[in-house]
Structure 1
């Protein structure tokens, strides 16, 4: 890890000096390109760290949910992993220069709404089936 960081810092400092050298020599086109790279490099690094952190956090959450031995824990763990990574990618896309990510947010809202509605209907049907006889008795007693 220290080797990676030191190499990255070395190249960043080298690019800084190359930018200043190009400016002093009057190579404005090359200096402009280097300035763009130097301006975007921290953004790209932060976006990569966001995605990397989400991958680690998502994997950890998936393991914890799977280890809990809950009903549908393996599927729930995969869903949580997907949601965490999806949000990180959507949030980090502006760091890479993609400004309009509203369609991805709206797509997630539609998927979450559809999943919630389907789950609510399934739970309603399950409870309706399970409580059919007690509900019939209660209604019969009410209308006597």
Structure 2
């Protein structure tokens, strides 16, 4: 079905196929689904033969494979979307497009990997979430400071003029309050 949709060709056209090195997306998903179907049939056979331990183990393995498949799908989707955004930014922004594109790509990939790791049982992603919050907050603070400093420098003369106008008013108020 994925071959009919031409997912692999679209990835090649968008210069995104290099993200999934050495394998096509169709073959990767096909192999995982093939083995999960085989394991499901083995689990059903074990159930018919009343091998409860084997059936439970195979069902757990199939569940784990589907969880891993979902995590891999989220990761690959994040990689593809990240590269797609990078390509768009690099072609639209001339001077610093590469820098912004790589930054956005890494940002999207990080979010996708954290989301994928969250699905897998037994993996705690709390520290990754906190690292993201700290990093994003630091970047936001740096941009806010840069914008504040640039506005301060841009309007330096106007600010000096406003202070000169405010000082005589303050001096008059101080004289009135002393009386």
C-alpha distance in 1, partners of 2:150/2:39? 64
Q: Is 2:154 the partner of 1:130?
A: yes
Instruction: Count residues in correspondence.
Output: 144
For structure 2, the residue ranges without an aligned partner over 5 or more in a row are: 4-25, 169-179
Shift of 1:113: 0.8
TM-score, normalised via structure 2 length: 0.68
**Runs of 4 or more consecutive aligned structure 1 residues displaced over 6 Å after TM superposition:** none
Shift of 1:27: 3.7
For structure 1, the residue ranges without an aligned partner over 5 or more in a row are: none
Q: Say if 1:63 and 1:14 are closer, same or farther in 2 by CA, change over 3 A.
A: same
Shift of 1:96: 2.0
Q: Is 2:120 the partner of 1:96?
A: yes
Deviations 1:66-85 (A, max 9, x none): 22225533222222111111
Look up the match of 1:121.
145
Deviates more, 1:49-58 or 1:21-30: 21-30
Which of 100, 109, 123 is 2:133 aligned to? 109
Q: Say if 1:9 and 1:108 are closer, same or farther in 2 by CA, change over 3 A.
A: closer
The answer as to whether partners of 2:32 and 2:69 remain within 8 angstroms in 1 is no
C-alpha distance in 2, partners of 1:142/1:45? 67
